[in-house]
Chain A
């Protein structure tokens, strides 16, 4: 069974621009979560989608948003990029809520200049 895939793997954007990241979960997994990983703050939860609905949300500003499609694929969007948004963005999928076990993709490395 294929794992979680994320595209693109690397991205360079300029401050003020917006960006969209994509995640395809493991087949059959309906829950998709997004995390931000930085050297200073570690791994922090952004939000989780289940059956196209946002079920949980972390403490991030409204510039960070997401959505999930009927095939469980998910996208996250960051508008008005700031230098501090440079990070590894990780997507994780799990079989069904509530599920303690999450399977992560390789991440998208976003650099904001």
Chain B
């Protein structure tokens, strides 16, 4: 069974601070996706990474896929209250790509 562990589990920071969320597994994934979920809503896709060592930037968010495709990180620069939410990583494999394995989640709160 493939598992994805995220750390930290909870993060409460002030506006303007930087943070990094980690997503680790002992298994190799063909792709890694990051989602953000707000209360009462479904997860919203932020990014997909498919190549080991790949780095993608989305405004103040930087995503990295580990060289061995077993881990990933999400770095947020100068966090804003609008970044508040549950961040989820999810791994997929070729052939069963729609059967995503979700991480344990990181709940981020950004206060003024």
Cα A92 to Cα B90 with chains together (Å) = 13
Contact A99 B98 (CB under 8 A): yes
Q: Is the CB of A48 within 8 A of B99?
A: yes
User: Which of B17-25, B41-49, B56-64 participates in binding chain A?
Assistant: B41-49
**Is B101's beta carbon under 8 Å from chain A?**
yes
Which single member of B41, B96, B99, B101 contacts A106 (CB below 8 Å)?
A: B41
In the complex, which range does the number of interface residues on chain B fall in? 20 to 34
| Pair B40/A102 contact, Cβ less than 8 Å | no
Chain B, residues 57-75, CB within 8 Å of chain A (1/0): the string is 0000000000000000000
The verdict on A4 contacting chain B, using a C-beta distance below 8 Å, is: yes
Roughly how many angstroms separate A50 CA and B98 CA in the complex, as a whole number?
Answer: 10
* A-facing residues in B74-112 (Cβ within 8 Å): 88, 90, 92, 94-105
- Shortest beta-carbon distance from B48 to chain A in Å: 5
Taking a contact as CB atoms under 8 Å apart, the answer to whether A101 and B48 are in contact is: yes
In the assembled complex, how far is the CB of residue A5 from the closest CB belonging to chain B, in whole angstroms?
11
A105 within 8 A of B: yes
- Summarize A's interface: helix, strand, loop or mixed: strand
| Interface set of B (CB-CB < 8 Å, partner A) | 30-31, 33, 35, 40-45, 48, 50, 88, 90, 92, 94-105
Q: Can you list 24 pairs linking A and B with CB atoms under 8 Å apart?
A: A33-B98, A33-B100, A42-B102, A42-B103, A45-B101, A55-B98, A56-B96, A58-B99, A92-B98, A94-B97, A97-B97, A98-B94, A98-B95, A98-B98, A99-B97, A99-B98, A100-B31, A100-B48, A100-B97, A101-B45, A104-B43, A104-B44, A105-B42, A107-B41
- Besides the contacts A31-B98, A97-B98, A105-B42, what 9 more A-B pairs have beta carbons closer than 8 Å? A35-B102, A43-B88, A56-B96, A97-B97, A98-B97, A100-B92, A103-B45, A104-B42, A106-B41
